[in-house]
Amino acid sequence: MEFSADRVAEIAGRPPAKLTRRDVALALLRVPSGDALASLPTLRRGLVAAGNPLSVPFWDSAESILAKIADQKATFGDVHGWLESTGTEPTGIIGLHVWEEPAQRSPLQEEMHTRLVHYLEERVADGEVSPDRLAGGNADARRDYVALQERWMSTPLADGRVPMTALLDEQDEQLIADWAQADAEALDTLGTVLDAVGSRPVPDTALHAAAARLRADIAKPGWPGQMLVAFSGHNARTLPADNAEMWLTLAASVASPQGDPLSAEDKEFARAMEWADEEDLSDADLGLGPDADEPDELSAAMAAVCALDHYDWLAVMSALASGGPGTPASAADLARYVREFDPGEAADAPSGPTGVADSGEPHNDFEEYDDYADDDYDDLSVEGLFLHVTAMWSVLGAIDEDDRLTPLGWWGLPEAMRRAWAEQLG
């Protein structure tokens, strides 16, 4: 099948004399690479006849990339790089913004992408952008091409909108909505697991002993008090008076940190309590700020916890709740639970001490999150993230010195996890 200039014009929606390199490139990529290669001479003659010959570097680059595709040697980056070398295809990533594929773009993305394409067409027309230099791999031309797009993205439109700001705001809104949906699905699935496990009694003696110890830790400087302050956003004055509420608040913050490492308020409180001299409370001395060693312990711990997603926590909570007191809970064990987790099976039949069967249908909402079923899963990396979690759980009394789940942890960790997800839903 030959691909003529008239066919490309029909696809692009403009006459052959007005076709751009991008129009031709996108049309060529719509058909099998072998057909596209065979069509190049006819297509080129048609554009010459229309007074729009394009250029030798473009046709050479087209033949090269199509041959590479036909030989199954082209990567996504190769193909998109060729499109960008037409001088009117936006760069895939501009600043913090990533363009979605056409079928996945929102109306706003499609609008801004189209506006940017038109802007780049104007810059090609006035000579500011040289497609031939881009096609030839000129590094300066490439750098200038990206900078040109970045300037456009940060410049207000006639209606006052700044493209980059508008796009990132939309992206943030979508991330929040997606996260809320994941919270709701995780909360529902965990609820099914806990219903199947049955009653998990509150170990009052262990709870009160842990609460007293935790209050004492938070009321003084150093580890682990300041770590608890950093994660929970609380200090000795603001913790709930009820022991169970206080414990659950701290446990929930391990999975969903609410504070910042030694905020200004925490420093002021430390000064008021005369924990430390003024000179001991500088950012550098506390491992914070530009002069500190990177990364400081608190920031590293929070970053690790935030790297764990709903699937990770659901896998761990399902294993611990179903296993009951004594269940292995080292960082390595938690990583293994994530790797072996099956959301459907987790809600189907618990193996814990209650023996309560689940009469409902298993919830499979989280099967789509199972991205650990392939060879890319790295036990050691996930274990490293959970090391910070188990350190905090040990302080809370949720796991013992042998890294096994305690009765306090069996009762409290799943409840804290439910609380964290419920609070995020508002």
Mean pLDDT for 50-63 is 96
Whole-angstrom Cα distance, residue 306 to residue 259? Answer: 13
Can you give 2-46 as a three-state secondary structure string? CCCHHHHHHHHCCCHHHCCHHHHHHHHCCCCHHHHHHHHHHHHHH
Q: Is residue 138 part of a domain?
A: yes
Question: What is the per-residue pLDDT for 257?
Answer: 85
150-169 residue pLDDT tens: 999 999 999 999 999 999 99
Total number of domains in the chain: 2
Q: What confidence score (pLDDT) does residue 348 get?
A: 56
Structural domain harbouring 396 = 175-425
Answer yes or no: do 128 and 202 share one domain: no
161: helix, strand or coil: coil
Token duo for residue 45 = 């003659």
Helix (H) or strand (E) holding 313: helix 310-323
330-353 pLDDT, tens per residue?
999 999 999 998 876 655 544 444
Single pTM value for the model: 0.60
390 and 283 in a single domain? The answer is yes
141: tokens are 């031309």
- Whether 25 and 92 map to the same domain: the answer is yes
Within a 10 A sphere around the Cβ of 321, how many other Cβ atoms?
A: 26
Under the banding of pLDDT at 50, 70 and 90, the label for residue 303 is confident
From 155, 189, 223, give the residue that closes a domain: 155
CB atoms within 10 A of CB 404: 16
- The most distant pair of C-alpha atoms in the chain lies apart, rounded to whole Å, by 90
The answer to whether residue 356 sits within a structural domain is yes
Evaluate whether residue 162 is within a structural domain.
Answer: no
- Residue-wise pLDDT for 98-129, tens only, equals 999 999 999 999 999 999 999 999 999 999 99
The residue out of 155, 187, 221 marking a domain boundary is 155
Is the model's pLDDT at 319 over the cut of 90? yes
Residue 381 lies in a domain: yes
C-alpha span between 243 and 229 (Å, rounded) = 16
**Are residues 319 and 361 part of one domain?**
yes
Looking at the fold, whether 395 and 252 belong to one and the same domain comes out as: yes
Q: How many whole angstroms separate alpha carbon 39 and alpha carbon 33?
A: 10
Do 132 and 187 have their domain in common?
Answer: no
Give a yes or no: residue 242 inside a domain.
yes
Residues 215, 308, single domain; the answer is yes
Average pLDDT over residues 279-304: 53
Q: Is the peptide bond before 41 cis (omega within 30 degrees of 0)?
A: no
- 134-151: pLDDT as tens digits: 999 999 999 999 999 999
Q: Are residues 151 and 248 part of one domain?
A: no
Assess if residue 379 is contained within a domain: yes
Buried-state track 159-172, b at ≥16 Cβ within 10 A, e below 16:
eeeebbebbeebbe
State whether 110 and 230 are in the same domain.
Answer: no
As a whole number, the mean pLDDT across the chain is 84
Q: Is 161 among the domain residues? A: no
pLDDT band of residue 211 (cuts 50, 70, 90) is very high
Helices (H), 222-280: 225-232, 243-255, 264-272
- Both 117 and 242 in one domain: the answer is no
Specify whether 79 is located in the same domain as 212: no
Give mean pLDDT, residues 249-261.
82
Residue 165 lies in a domain: no
Distance CA 239, CA 382 (A): 31
Based on the domain organization, do 151 and 39 belong to the same domain? yes
Please give the structure tokens belonging to residue 310: 């709903």
Domain boundary among 155, 190, 225: 155
